[in-house]
Structure 1
Amino acid sequence: MLEQLKNERTEMENELKKLIIKDSLTGLYNKAFFIEQLDRFIQKSDREKDRFGLLFIDFNKFKEINDTLGHHTGDRVIFEAARRLESAVSENCLLARYGGDEFVMLVCDVHSRAELYNIAKEILQSFDSACYIDGHEFYLSASIGIALYPFDGRDSDNLIKNADIAMYKAKEDKDEEYNIRFFTSEMEKEVQERFMIETQLRKALENQELSLCFQPIVEISKNKLEGAEALLRWKNVKLGFVPPEKFISIAEETGLIHSIGKYVLENVCNFIKSMERKGLPLIPVAVNISAKQLENRNFAETVKSIIEYYQIDTRYLEFEITESVSAGNMKRIKENIEKIKDLGIKLSMDDFGTGYSSFAMLLNLQIDKLKIDKMFIDNIGKMREEKIIRTILSMAKELGLKVVAEGIETEKQLKFLKDVSCDYGQGYLFNRPMDINMFEEYLKIRCYSKGKSPDNFSGSVC
């Protein structure tokens, strides 16, 4: 009897030890045990001047599985992922579940970066075949970031952090065959810059750091002002002038795009109403709208309430979207666009021709106008680009769409666009973007010149 109790106690102690070091879902080592072993290995490697690699593995779009099929199925997918990772691990590796759909792997006895890359590639290849769970067929894919000791960190915190940074950069490599990236110091600088931008952007509205500029859109055949595009600008005390391409994506990722987008729309509507009160000629003003805004179920209602508050005629308000909306929730986006169109707002497709989905979106969305990307305008003079421009114009004419050429900077470009009967133009050749006060002066001059776009108008550009 006593012997039996001893055996049972030993079994219980062994089970408790497993619980302390093992992940309950996958049976792999857990985060705490992995970090403990990593710290020990760093001490050993420091003494013996060894190198080793740390792989940070994250599964792509796993959240969609949880959201669509529930956490029970998600857990089973994680379990299957762990089994496949185990099958790809060699004896000189320590594998652990870090949390959620994240895994970490310590690779000992590393002789080259190529060796680490091949290990990472074998891991990704282990997910080439489908897995079947609860009657569903899945194809899993992952992104892997790699940090190398001692070059990318001399302690566990920095090694894991830097491998994690590299993993997120790997996720961005959509054109690569394998989503694998080694950490570089430039990545860390980008992360620090992004953190600073996000921190300051959260205060930008409150501190009144955002402003609007307006760039004229001209009817090419008559050199007549047709409209304008409202462009967002941000000047921060610490960062100085921050280009939109650096902060708009961060605004989208953090959800700040909704409050910023509302600010832009309110200020554009206020500007239109102000011009009406001052008796200045009204022109359509285009506002850029992101996919994230269109995915918001309340977006169309927000637009409607702003329009009603400022009592503007929607003939003078246009929205510009890019093909990035095709990657969003198309059901919600189409619902919002239908409501927006019912309000009388016209819709333009910006940067047309730069992506594979632009043509498909013409069929799915109620587009009124196309904007030919500056990339094609820059290459006017080259036969291929000129053929593309002619093709876009011909197609637009067949579909009853107007066309704006973006980024016109030379008389040569303007002459070609006039010869091929492009409707409208926008670019530095006509005018740079102007702040709100200077644009008002521009409109006054236009009023006295019977609609002609003022030549060589010099003002406060932004």
Structure 2
Amino acid sequence: MHKKPQLSKPCILVVDDDQATCFLTTEALKKEGYKVVVGANGEDAVHLFKQESPDIILLDVEMPLKNGFDALQEIRQLNEGANVPIIMITGLDDTISVDKAYGIGATDFITKPINWSILGHRIRYILRANHTFLNLKHSESSLANAQRIAKIGNWEWDVQSDELYWSPEIYRIFGLSPEVDSSTSKAFMRLIQREDIMHLKIALGQAKNGDRRFSYERKIVCFDEQERIFIVQGELITDQDDKALHISGTVQDITERRNAEDRIIHLAYYDTLTGLPNRQLFQETLTQTLQAEDYHNKLAALLFIDLDRFKQINDSLGHSFGDKLIKVVARRILNYLRKSDLLSRNHTNADGDVARIGGDEFIALLTHLEHKNDAKTIADRLIEKISEPIQIDGKEIVITASIGIAFYPDNGDDFISLLKNADTAVNATKEQGRNNSLLYTLAMSKQSEQKLTLENELRKAIKNNELVVHFQPQIDTATEKVIGVEALVRWVHPEKGFIPPDAFIGLAEETGLILPLGKWVLNEACHQAKKWQESGLENIKISVNVSSKQFLYDGFIDDVKEALTTSNLEPQFLDLELTEGALMGDGTEIINRLEAIKALGVTLSLDDFGTGFSSLSYLTRYPLDTLKIDRSFIMNIGLSDDEAIIKTIIGMAHSLHLNIISEGVETEKQLDFLRQYDTQVIQGYLYSKPLIAEEIAKFIAEFNLSTGAHEEVQPQRGNKSGIQQTSAAAN
């Protein structure tokens, strides 16, 4: 675009081979205050234009070297010359030259002889007109650019002549060509889908008949066969007599905006991993369903589906694996509910009636049920479907689910109450062993409330030192002396009295309270062991049971160091007891943690071996010192085939040079069996129940004295540490 005219001292280029004409023109223009540059031929004209950038050019037609027409044409082809006013000077009767000049881009013409008295006024008028033209063009360019960015075009429909004006942007929006497609109302109507034409005509008619303004949004298949969303807005313009003249309006392509809004809505209402509705959308759907007039007093069920031990899979195999597993489970839930023959034909919205509300939690709405047992049957079959083997990344995995079921209207008449009660039912299912479904009962809520109360009281108990540690002695049957103790945490409630460990240890694991509880037990045990040593009870080893959450906690090894440091207990007198669950997961990470503990000088025991996911690989891969035979095997000696299991465990331990401790020994028959198979260290009520610190010290002193035990301890067979192995538990 040519620069905007400067009305103060504009520059005029005068080009004429007649020196007299040039002189007179120059003088006349200088008197009017203009700056004048003079050239003698067409080549001068082009050169001086490039050099001076004049605001207006007076150009003679007939000149040597290059005539005025050629110079005009060349200047117009320059970017800067497109809009500069060019006035051609020609003879009085030279109409042919005038026509030709206009044809190739002249702004105006002046005939010879020139009227010098009005020349300045004419130049001033042309400059002012060009200034207005440039401003208008700039405004149009800005508007066109803004319309292009906003994807909006303007139109005007003359209601009398039925002519329709389109702006250039409308052509681009609809994929049309100005050279091919006419801007008429009929052409526009051809763009509208047949079913939408009537709606648009009604909107236009209402505008003509008094509504004046209208807004109409529809999808339109454009000439490029792309479907887009447009909003058409218009306003009726009338004359003084309120007679309709035309309707002015805009057309805007809002496809991207609507798509962005749809994406935002999808993010707000759908789970990004599975594509299922989220809690918010499910709640709205359920509320609409249950509040519908035709659903009054009909039976519905809310299923709360919780995958069992998903966190363990996620932690051991990685979050990417876990995400893939969640997607497979989501598809299985959807597919089953779509095909279930127990769902009424009225239950047609299976996709919208399933939602993912948490990492491993789903909910499903079953409507138009005939009987409550139908929901139970559906849930049990769904559990079977979920638990079918899954192949992911070359690994086969089986995951189970627990389902809680709450019914409308019996267990709640809104989403919040139904979800709460279904959640309570699924928690009860997990407490009873998982991989099952339960119908909600009022007793579950009472039990849940009691559990919550107990959790709060346990927090206070840890803070207020209501917990105590008891100690159960472990006896070397070969020497008949106490060689160690197992630390057992006990809770003495100020109002409820003694609370058994199985009532709060699992709760502590579930709520994360096991971390502060376990750290407290570890510190108490180490300090007490040191006190016994200082009082003369030497070589008594103490073991502390470590939960899987404790073991995997990043600060656990620091907790062990702190307990040893603050108590001044030598590390060889501390044994940490791990369950098989703590050793499942990333083998490299487990080994690193175990070796870090061993580096401190602390020994390691595997508790309850044979009751969980027993694997010989644990015994060969991990740096363990001792196996503990669980009391569930010991109590069945002489009554079942568990004797064979005990013999196998003892044989493995001996071959791997591991120590053995048998816990839960209560009868002489059990003791005789264990002695027969060379199991020296015994723990159980046959010798003593767990005792408080003062009582256990007295017991050890009297027991060792009565049996004539020597002060020095002889190490067991295969004891890697040279110190007699014991066990301790925090449960």
| 1:130-158 deviation line (CA, Å, top 9, x unaligned) | 6989x999988754332122333344322
**Which amino acid in the other structure matches residue 260 of structure 1?**
L
Contact 1:86 1:95 in 2 (8 A): no
Aligned match of 1:56: 304
Classify 1:295/1:426 alpha carbon distance in 2 versus 1 (closer, same or farther; 3 Å): same
Aligned match of 2:575: 318
Question: Which 10-residue stretch deviates more, 369-378 or 237-246?
Answer: 237-246
Match for 1:119 among 375, 378, 394? 378
The DSSP-based 3-state class of the residue aligned with 1:252 is helix
**Which amino acid in the other structure matches residue 205 of structure 1?**
I
Counterpart-to-counterpart distance in 1, 2:265 and 2:622: 54
**Which amino acid in the other structure matches residue 302 of structure 1?**
D
**Which amino acid in the other structure matches residue 650 of structure 2?**
L
Counterpart-to-counterpart distance in 1, 2:397 and 2:673: 51
| 1:173-223 deviation line (CA, Å, top 9, x unaligned) | 7774xx544333443344223222221222222110111000010112332
Match for 1:95 among 332, 335, 353? 353
Structure 2 residues without counterparts, runs of 5 or longer: 1-154, 158-199, 204-214, 219-230, 233-253, 339-345, 711-730
1:211 partnered with 2:461: no
Classify 1:402/1:69 alpha carbon distance in 2 versus 1 (closer, same or farther; 3 Å): closer
Match for 2:664 among 381, 400, 407? 407
Counterpart-to-counterpart distance in 1, 2:427 and 2:547: 22
Classify 1:197/1:365 alpha carbon distance in 2 versus 1 (closer, same or farther; 3 Å): farther
Contact 2:485 2:541 in 1 (8 A): yes
The DSSP-based 3-state class of the residue aligned with 2:463 is coil
1:354 partnered with 2:611: yes
* Alignment of structure 1 residues 261-410 onto 2, 5 Å: 261-382=518-639, 384-410=641-667
Contact 1:284 1:318 in 2 (8 A): yes
Aligned match of 1:146: 405
Q: CA deviation at 1:29?
A: 5.1
| 1:337-383 deviation line (CA, Å, top 9, x unaligned) | 21221222222222122233253311222221221111121111136
Q: CA deviation at 1:80?
A: 7.3
Give the structure-1-normalised TM-score: 0.82
Contact 1:50 1:109 in 2 (8 A): yes
**Which amino acid in the other structure matches residue 434 of structure 1?**
L
Aligned match of 2:70: none
The DSSP-based 3-state class of the residue aligned with 2:503 is helix
Contact 1:28 1:95 in 2 (8 A): no
More helix by share: 1
| 1:44-63 deviation line (CA, Å, top 9, x unaligned) | 69995422111223456389
Q: CA deviation at 1:275?
A: 1.5
Classify 1:278/1:143 alpha carbon distance in 2 versus 1 (closer, same or farther; 3 Å): closer
**Which amino acid in the other structure matches residue 95 of structure 1?**
D
Q: CA RMSD in A?
A: 4.0
The DSSP-based 3-state class of the residue aligned with 1:434 is coil
**Which amino acid in the other structure matches residue 603 of structure 2?**
K
Q: CA deviation at 1:407?
A: 0.9
* Alignment of structure 1 residues 422-433 onto 2, 5 Å: 422-433=679-690
Contact 2:404 2:439 in 1 (8 A): yes
1:187 partnered with 2:473: no
Contact 2:386 2:400 in 1 (8 A): no
Pairs aligned (count): 449
Contact 1:215 1:433 in 2 (8 A): yes
**Which amino acid in the other structure matches residue 6 of structure 1?**
Y
The DSSP-based 3-state class of the residue aligned with 1:105 is strand
The DSSP-based 3-state class of the residue aligned with 1:7 is strand
Contact 1:284 1:317 in 2 (8 A): yes
**Which amino acid in the other structure matches residue 53 of structure 1?**
A
Q: CA deviation at 1:96?
A: 4.6
Match for 1:6 among 213, 216, 220? 216
Contact 1:295 1:328 in 2 (8 A): no
The DSSP-based 3-state class of the residue aligned with 1:400 is coil
Give the structure-2-normalised TM-score: 0.54
Classify 1:433/1:96 alpha carbon distance in 2 versus 1 (closer, same or farther; 3 Å): same
Counterpart-to-counterpart distance in 2, 1:7 and 1:47: 35
Match for 2:283 among 35, 39, 61? 35
Q: CA deviation at 1:128?
A: 5.4
Q: CA deviation at 1:429?
A: 0.9
Classify 1:151/1:45 alpha carbon distance in 2 versus 1 (closer, same or farther; 3 Å): farther
**Which amino acid in the other structure matches residue 283 of structure 2?**
I
Counterpart-to-counterpart distance in 1, 2:690 and 2:586: 32
Q: CA deviation at 1:427?
A: 0.7
Aligned match of 2:239: none
Counterpart-to-counterpart distance in 2, 1:87 and 1:388: 44
The DSSP-based 3-state class of the residue aligned with 2:554 is coil
| 1:45-103 deviation line (CA, Å, top 9, x unaligned) | 999542211122345638939994569x95x9877766665444444155153534544
Classify 1:374/1:254 alpha carbon distance in 2 versus 1 (closer, same or farther; 3 Å): same
| 1:214-247 deviation line (CA, Å, top 9, x unaligned) | 0010112332212110111112235543322232
Classify 1:45/1:320 alpha carbon distance in 2 versus 1 (closer, same or farther; 3 Å): farther
Classify 1:443/1:118 alpha carbon distance in 2 versus 1 (closer, same or farther; 3 Å): closer
Aligned match of 1:109: 368
**Which amino acid in the other structure matches residue 561 of structure 2?**
K
The DSSP-based 3-state class of the residue aligned with 1:305 is helix
**Which amino acid in the other structure matches residue 156 of structure 1?**
F
Counterpart-to-counterpart distance in 2, 1:81 and 1:171: 19
**Which amino acid in the other structure matches residue 57 of structure 1?**
I
Identity %: 34
Classify 1:342/1:411 alpha carbon distance in 2 versus 1 (closer, same or farther; 3 Å): same
Counterpart-to-counterpart distance in 1, 2:709 and 2:530: 22
Contact 1:31 1:96 in 2 (8 A): no
The DSSP-based 3-state class of the residue aligned with 2:369 is coil
Counterpart-to-counterpart distance in 1, 2:500 and 2:373: 37
Counterpart-to-counterpart distance in 2, 1:253 and 1:86: 30
Counterpart-to-counterpart distance in 2, 1:361 and 1:137: 21
Contact 1:54 1:159 in 2 (8 A): yes
Aligned match of 2:675: 418
Contact 1:269 1:307 in 2 (8 A): yes
1:23 partnered with 2:270: yes
The DSSP-based 3-state class of the residue aligned with 2:537 is coil
Question: Which 10-residue stretch deviates more, 317-326 or 163-172?
Answer: 163-172
- Kindly indicate whether structure 1 or structure 2 has the higher relative contact order, using CA contacts under 8 Å at least 6 residues apart: 1
Classify 1:335/1:172 alpha carbon distance in 2 versus 1 (closer, same or farther; 3 Å): farther
